[in-house]
Amino acid sequence: MGDPGRRVLLKHLSKVIQDHHIDLVVGNGENAAGGFGITPDIAEELFDLGLSAITLGNHAWDKREALEYLQKEHRVIRPANYPDGVPGKGTCIVETVHGERLGILQLMGRVFMPMVDCPFRVAERELAELATHTNQILVDMHAETTSEKMAMGYFLDGKVSAVVGTHTHVQTVDEQILPQGTGYLTDVGMTGPVQSVIGMKPNLVIQKFLTQLPRRFEVATGPAVLSAAVLDLNHTTGKTTQITRLRVFE
């Protein structure tokens, strides 16, 4: 979330990678540019900080310069269930330093969200292709409601390594391994300003609720937090053996 999120990554991500023996980092970057969208320069900054892949979401198109960038940078993906013909792709495959392949799929929910194709049916279609390349697959379920995220978790249980939710910016306390071995967390939480309303200055959000008038939100300032989920995967089965929530404060 904006500059505070990038700042806390700069301060703490390298130590998190070292302390937890991380092989590969995936981050949701749809709010990285001032809270709305992403730019090519900021995406490259995030890669330099240690990310191997970046997912987006409903703010994927907020910065016009991202449209062309998504066409050529395969490590930045948007929800796969956007209609055919939009820029970019909804999946990618990245490798760890040890040569292990991780497939990444992003889906977007439809409840209280933009109208897109069915994420469940699109998941089946995309996973059929990803599974021919690797059995280690991470799904970013970008959705508003807990029920839709949990339904996706159980729908894909045993078919992917993990389903981790994004979009609501508040880390949930329900990390678990589902019955067939898929790791699950409803929302990984926000990497951004602590004293905020999901990353934005509280007074501006309060005024919007009080008046219902249009209000331009701004990213909050002050101390930030790095929110994450650490996944341990079995390289043979592709299943999650451990999932740990993580919050690192400035």
Catalytic residue positions, numbered: 59
Tell me the sheet residues that pair with 221. Answer: none
8 A C-beta contact, residue 93 and residue 104: yes
Long-range contacts of 85-94 (CB under 8 A, 24+ apart): 88/60, 90/122, 90/126, 91/126, 91/129, 91/130, 92/53, 93/130, 93/133, 93/134, 94/24, 94/26, 94/52, 94/53
How far is Cα 98 from Cα 25, in angstroms, rounded to an integer? 14
Residues in the chain: 250
Within 8 A by CB and 6+ apart from 20, the residues are 230, 244, 246
Instruction: Give the H or E element holding residue 146.
Output: helix 146-155
